[in-house]
Chains A and B, each alone.
Chain A
Amino acid sequence: MESCVHRIEVHYITDPRLKTRTSRIKSLGFPVDELHLIDVYTLATCTRDFSGKELAEIGAQLINPVVQKFLVDTPTRIPFDYAIEVGFLPGVTDNVGTTARQTIEDFFSMKFGEGEAVYTSQLFLVCGTLSPAELRKLATTLANPLVNRVLIKTRAEYGDKGMGTMVPVVHLNELPNADPVYLDLDDEELARIGKEGIIDSRTGERRGPLALDLAQLHAIRDYFDDEGRMPTDIELESLAQTWSEHCKHTIFASAMDDDVPRGLYKTFIQDATKKIRAEKGDKDICVSVFTDNSGAVIFDDTFLVTHKVETHNSPSALDPFGGALTGIVGVNRDTIGFGLGAKPCINFYGYCVGDPESDPALFRGRNASMPILSPRQILDGVVRGVGVGGNCSGIPTPQGWCWFDDRYVGKPLVFAGTVGVLPREHAGRNLSEKKAEPGDLIVVVGGRVGKDGIHGATFSSEALDPASPVTAVQIGDPITQKKLSDVIVKEARDRELYRSITDNGAGGISCSVAEMAKECNGCHVYLDKVPLKYHGMAPWEIWISESQERMTLAVPMGKLEELMALMQIRDVEATVIGKFTASGSCLVEWHGTVVMDVRLEFLHDGLPKKHLATTYTRKTYPEPDAPCPDRLDATMRSMLGRKNLCSKEFISLQYDHTVQGGHVLGPVQGRGRVQSDATLTKVVPGSKKGVGLSQALFPTYSEIDPYLMAGAAIDTAIRGLIAVGVPLDTIAILDNFCWCSSDEPERLGQLKLAARGCYVFSVAFGTPFISGKDSMYNDFSGFDAEDRPVKVSVPPTLLISSIGIHPDVAASVSLDAKIDGDLVYVIGDTAIELGGSEYFAHLGATGNMVPELDVVPLKARYARLTDALTHGLVASAFPVSHGGLGTALAKVAIAGQLGMDITIPSSMRPDYYLFSESLGRFVVTIAPDHKREFERICGLDALLLGRVAGKNLRITSDKLLLDLPVAELETVYKTPFRGF
């Protein structure tokens, strides 16, 4: 269709990034002398052409002439050996292209028409001698085949014509319809529909997994038999989305064995919160839990804060950047979609990946086809994705973590969370409540719908295998979402232009509209009204597409005009696609034909109940037999340099953690810049209060004892907040279960124990669960280099995230030792509890004794420490966690760039004492003047270990164990990820 194509190439006269870019590529092992980068804009128009003069004007708009030059329809000429051009595949979001188009439209006061666009690509000009294999590998490092197209040319092929033009336009022409699907099939054929999808009548190929099991397909067949007709493909796809593990959490909802008839979620999570809320009485901190897009707690009399942590694992395995970006901007929408619209104010991240120095030869396809991405590629991509999401949206990202284990090579876990802030009331309206009314219009606001993200919800409910759909990958556009977010939470909400709002996340509008339809009992959608990125999409695709940056509003008729006018002047697309009704049905029309008519009760509650059976066999592992080394200097160096204990500051540095002006305690602390376990952020200007965030996970404990694993995560997540001065009674927690092989009774047995642990320990601490999410099939099924089938499952992983309110941030403390001569204490007892510990991993063992947890004395201890903190008696506090007391002391010393003289009790094996991971402990430093008062408050719990002194960390028991300069420890701590 496009007839006029022009190519503008932009380069720096002297590229400031050349050195870093080249050295990063060299560090990955490529023999590259220089790696130049040219930005390419391809203009494709059909209704008008641009003259040479106009193209020069366009070029001038795309550069800064002080440092950049542009060339129109002329290839860049610099010395190089190979050219690699990386663009987007058709239909993939091209944010830079969109901005360039808008600039051109603005400049010429014109609009690009249908099929006209600006496409961007990056042209890498490589100097160096590379083999064809190295060149191909370099291309896969620079590009992802799932979202990018790549063109490679040698210098000779490039010649004086350059790369030529490529226009990645989506060609879809016919107007597809909804097809009936025949379900009167034998069980084997029926099961194939569930596993591989409906056969497309045009292509003859399966459309991708519905993730419906046989029992569910039978229920659907029975329902439509009663209706006296066949289901349409859109109905079947819609039910698959709504019933997916991702959306309905079938495993957490199902009855389990004889003792959990109401299911894990109701029995262990929801009931824990109910019991805690009842016990707290008028001190209840919960506002809205489990029912909305996020959970919320009281901040003060005027505001509440929300929190939600999502996972985005499967997409991140395929496209780490796009997957992680979509994850973070998606959970931002869970904030905007809370109540009538909370403002996102803190982002949170967590990554479980394989060792980035490893490069396992695993393949998604047979015959060494479709290799998995290396852990390094995955780490780089997800780090960048969450960074771009938060940075571009103006949301600070102070809090997060990274955990390495080779069992995450096939499927990384990517956690993304967002805290929001919302006034409790506005003009007499309770902002945490919403309800669509019959007659309200269904308005979709934000981005347009494309084929991206189709089958995302059903896909993440399945293990990753060769049939994983590539359209499940989406790339977010944070700026489109920023415009949407601003207009909702800063304008439309308080002008009361809508009655209900929800996010279009997994399942797209099929889930958001059907979910909101529950509030009024019905909806009527005109699917042909939905604005599309390109023509030719089938109704089922439009209905379930997970294209990003969209939200759905319920707008009263009387407010429609004002809402649409507001959206227009804020450059946010808004479209009425139907209305909410009280009909009891979800009715969808496509160009005048009803293509879906399913009763809401069947859609939401029709899925057959399951009764799951579990088994559990406690595993035992050999204990390590290494004797305690005579000196522990070398041991300490190894421990501090372990990837799970060392600094990952390169992540904190590239995440803006100061925007919105609320930074109090950040991701790195002290002169020595040590990463903290908790951060503190002000979210309401003028208030003394702040929001504390922390988290914990102990995947290495899971195979030994899932019950205590949950306990360790809960205690540690809480303790991180206690250390900065957040009182226990303000703390709430969130659960994210990322399990594996959840069709195996043993795995379900571990799950049940972990869930029981969640109940017991959260109730004991009095910290309610306010939100949670589970992802049950984090397994990779593929092949090794010899084409043998391989399954890699993640260790059962439970992330507990914590949120609490600090009453006066000026009284909080950071983790770094402050002043020479201060006293160093450990609070809490140390036992020989090294099962699954970092120290045993260092010794090559697993062991069996994971830390026990007795909450009652811990609660009293935490109250005492809070008391000491409130009285200003504490100069620094740091929770003892992974790596034990030894690494905690080292980190406190490194952070303060101050030495310590420490004497530990000689009653226990010193290496075990220093690296045991017993729970409930803190390292605290205080001014000597506060000794009496501090010891009076903390009592026998606080053991004086020594003082802050000199330049070395010295540890003695009955003999000198360790004597190392803190400067050297700092180097060891910071070396592993230098250059990342």
Chain B
Amino acid sequence: MTTAQKFSQSTTGKTRSHGPAKIDEKALIMSGFGINSEMETKEVLARAGMDADIVHINDLIAGRMQLSDYRLLVFPGGFSYGDDTGAGNAYANRVRNNLWDDLLEFLDGDNLVLGICNGFQILANLGLVPAFDRHYTRDIALMPNRGGRLECRFVSLKPAADNLWTKGIERLYCPVAHGEGNLSCSPETLLRLKRQKMITFTYCREDLTPAYGEYPWNPNGSVEDIAGITSADGKVLGLMPHPERAMEFVNLYDWPLRKEEMRRKGVPVPTESMNMHLFRNAVAYFR
């Protein structure tokens, strides 16, 4: 057994194959200390054509696993350290205090980084987004939701930039489940985010018109309805909602109604959801 096999955690269950064959490049999914969405993230990447290893942060710190063996680094959703000292903050501290040089080297390579929910909060605290001019400082904050507590509901997302992540996407429809997703930054930062087309997904209504900050379409009070941004070089994406939790049609909140409508129109009912598109785009970058 190789070290990699020994220390990567196994998942149970079978994977369906969709679309083109698997690529050789692998993804590393961070785990440990309360991260909890690593299994479904591995599953969704596998369905999109990329195998992943779930790696405990302590195994990277101790050198049992190497970040340089991977091309896509994912910080998945979770409640690392129970959101204590601010969501994502304690885990980001652990990364910065122990893995910073490896991470910089990874960012210098032709690699991608994806942070979802708690992962986005970690990226923000590490300064991996927005990373203007490759300066990894904290320029945005994901503050507590306007409603003051965690909220779990489906939201519609509209691509707000044309980049490697959004290619061909019309709308995503997936859950938010966070207590701190209220994106805040200085007016200067906001202006740069807009000017450099780094705002990648925004909360919108079902008909794709903007949420204009209105609840519940914008669930947390995020400035300019921002749900996700990339780094200045576009290779790091942070996203509050969870497309990986609704990879199948039957995971969507409104699927029973859509199914009934499709059947009556004689339209075939899909098995996969539109959210797969995002992960296919990430994998396509390496093809």
Contact = CB atoms under 8 A, between A and B. Distances in A.
Given A483-B32, A569-B58, A658 B148 contact: no
Given A16-B143, A813-B256, A660 B39 contact: yes
Contact of A392 (B34, B59, B151): B34
A569 B12 contact: no
Contacts of B249: 810
A571 B151 contact: no
Given A99-B90, A107-B97, A656-B177, A814 B144 contact: no
Given A107-B93, A482-B34, A685 B82 contact: no
B85 A99 contact: yes
A663 B251 contact: yes
Nearest to A814: B256
Contacts of B261: 818-819
B190 to A, nearest CB: 12
B12 A423 contact: yes
Contacts of B271: 810
Contact of A66 (B82, B93, B184): B184
B82 A95 contact: yes
Nearest to B151: A653
Given A656-B177, A658-B177, A684-B12, A64 B89 contact: yes
Given A66-B185, A665-B256, A392 B79 contact: yes
A423 B12 CA distance: 8
Contacts of A107: 93, 97
Contacts of A96: 82, 84-85
Interface in B248-287: 248-251, 253-254, 256-257, 259-261, 263-264, 269, 271
Contacts of B213: none
Contacts of B79: 391-394, 478-479, 482
B244 to A, nearest CB: 6
Contacts of A478: 34, 79, 82
A587 to B, nearest CB: 37
A654 B152 contact: yes
Residue of B13, B37, B84 with most chain A CB atoms under a 10 A cut-off: B84
Nearest to B88: A64
Contact of A656 (B32, B83, B152, B264): B152
Contacts of B36: 393-394, 482, 659
A660 to B, nearest CB: 6
Interface residues of A, number: 78
B14 A686 contact: yes
B142 to A, nearest CB: 8
A813 B143 CA distance: 38
Contact of A103 (B13, B90, B148, B149): B90
A657 B140 contact: no
Interface residues of B, number: 82
A569 B15 contact: no
Contacts of B250: 664, 682, 809-810
The interface residues of chain A, by DSSP majority, are classed as mixed
A962 B10 CA distance: 58
A66 B186 contact: yes
Contact of A569 (B56, B90, B175): B56
A133 to B, nearest CB: 27
B246 interface: yes
Interface string B81-114: 1111110011001100110000000000000000
A684 B145 contact: no
Contacts of B34: 392, 394, 478-479, 482-483
B160 interface: no
A12 B144 CA distance: 10
Contact of B260 (A65, A103, A303, A818): A818
B85 A16 contact: no
Contacts of B253: 663, 666
Interface in A770-812: 809-810, 812
Interface string A491-525: 10010000000000000000000000000000000
Interface string B61-90: 010100000000000011101111110011
Interface string A851-889: 000000000000000000000100110000000000000
Given A393-B36, A394-B36, A482-B34, A656 B14 contact: no
A663 B40 CA distance: 12
B246 A661 contact: yes
A103 to B, nearest CB: 5
B219 to A, nearest CB: 10
Given A107-B97, A394-B79, A569-B56, A16 B40 contact: no
B141 interface: yes
A660 B38 CA distance: 9
Contacts of B260: 818-819, 875, 927
B5 to A, nearest CB: 12
A20 interface: yes
Interface in A4-29: 12, 16-17, 19-21, 24
Contacts of A477: 82
Given A654-B150, A661-B251, A16 B145 contact: yes
Contact of A570 (B10, B56, B90, B242): B56
Interface in A145-177: none
B152 A64 contact: no
Given A64-B89, A66-B186, A686-B14, 5 more contacts: A64-B138, A99-B82, A392-B34, A659-B37, A663-B245
14 contacts: A16-B144, A17-B145, A64-B89, A95-B82, A99-B82, A103-B85, A479-B82, A483-B34, A570-B32, A659-B177, A663-B246, A686-B16, A819-B261, A872-B263
Interface of A: 12, 16-17, 19-21, 24, 61-68, 95-96, 98-100, 102-103, 106-107, 303, 387, 391-394, 423, 477-479, 482-483, 486, 490-491, 494, 569-571, 652-666, 669-671, 682, 684-687, 809-810, 812-814, 816, 818-819, 872, 875-876, 927
Which are the 7 A-B pairs with shortest beta-carbon distances?
A394-B36, A661-B40, A99-B84, A814-B256, A20-B148, A658-B175, A656-B177
